[in-house]
Amino acid sequence: MKIISTPLEMQHAALAMKRGGRRIGFVPTMGFLHEGHLSLVKIARHHADVVVLSLFVNPTQFGPGEDLGRYPRDFERDRKLSEAAGVDVLFAPETAAMYAKDASVAVVEENLSRGLCGASRPTHFRGVVTVVSKLFNLCLPDVAVFGEKDAQQIRVIRRLVRDLNFPVEIISGPTIREPDGLAMSSRNVNLSPAERKQALCLRRALDRAEVLQRSGERDAARIRASMVEAVAMEPLATIDYIEIVDDETLEPVARTDRPTLVALAVKFSKTRLIDNAVLKPGT
């Protein structure tokens, strides 16, 4: 596995791979890898000849007072896991190399980014969309793989690719869960043992939504109320949002007759967890 730490070297390596006729699969990450990331590597490998994985804790997608400083980092661990997973190129740039001190250009998605996570993290998607655009320009992927746990992110990235004509296919990989149902996240290590137990309320709230939908309930307010109740049972949990939105437009819906995204963000002290499920009318 080749390790690249400068943007220019990455771009040259990607250009050389492309000139050699090789299809590049790309998995962007912020590191502290877990089974979820490794499952995305598998998908990328299936669709490409070489897999590039980026490790970059992107400061511009964290707002003031968020957990940038506490975001878990362990390069050596990530290097070993990447190598074992069959990553061909590990791209791990420094922040100073990624952003000029006087950087003044950003990429903004103006519609899908407004609600859900964007409502409580108003600069988050500007940071994500900008860094993903930069990473696409550096890694030149034919296919890029994103996890479905970040439901809003993947929809925003698809919009970025559509609207700015990036020549890359976006593929999503299913959320990978711990045996007890908690969605895998690099942030889970920051939970105390008590918070870790109570964090199961995210999955429980989604289970309630799915059970209600299966039983024929289509009233979004009633489904939401049941989810709120599931999270509110846990004293260490603070609801950031619980939303029921159209799966495509991400606009709030009153009824779940069309494919609907049920998404929630819950805080445990400074650790904010997200999860989601898609309710289909036939389910």
Query: Does residue 276 interact with ligand PAF by CB under 6 A?
Result: no
Query: Does residue 253 interact with ligand PAF by CB under 6 A?
Result: no
Q: Which of 50, 52, 85, 131 binds ligand PAF (CB under 6 A)?
A: 131
Question: Looking at beta carbons only, is 30 or 264 nearer to ligand PAF?
Answer: 30
Amino acid at position 33, single letter: L
Question: Looking at beta carbons only, is 234 or 275 nearer to ligand PAF?
Answer: 275
Least separation, in Å, of the C-beta of 180 and ligand PAF? 23
Least separation, in Å, of the C-beta of 218 and ligand PAF? 32
Q: Which of 7, 25, 28, 118 binds ligand PAF (CB under 6 A)?
A: 28
Q: Are 107 and 128 in contact (CB under 8 A)?
A: no
Question: Looking at beta carbons only, is 30 or 138 nearer to ligand PAF?
Answer: 30
Catalytic residue ranges: 37
Spell out, one character per residue from 139 to 168, where the chain touches ligand PAF: x when CB under 6 A holds, - when not.
-----------x--x---------------
Stretch that binds ligand PAF, among 22-30, 38-46, 88-96, 224-232 (CB under 6 A): 22-30
Question: Looking at beta carbons only, is 28 or 115 nearer to ligand PAF?
Answer: 28
Query: Does residue 29 interact with ligand PAF by CB under 6 A?
Result: yes
**117/154 Cα distance (integer angstroms):** 12
By the criterion CB under 6 A, which residues form the site for ligand PAF?
Answer: 28-30, 58, 61, 128, 131-132, 150, 153
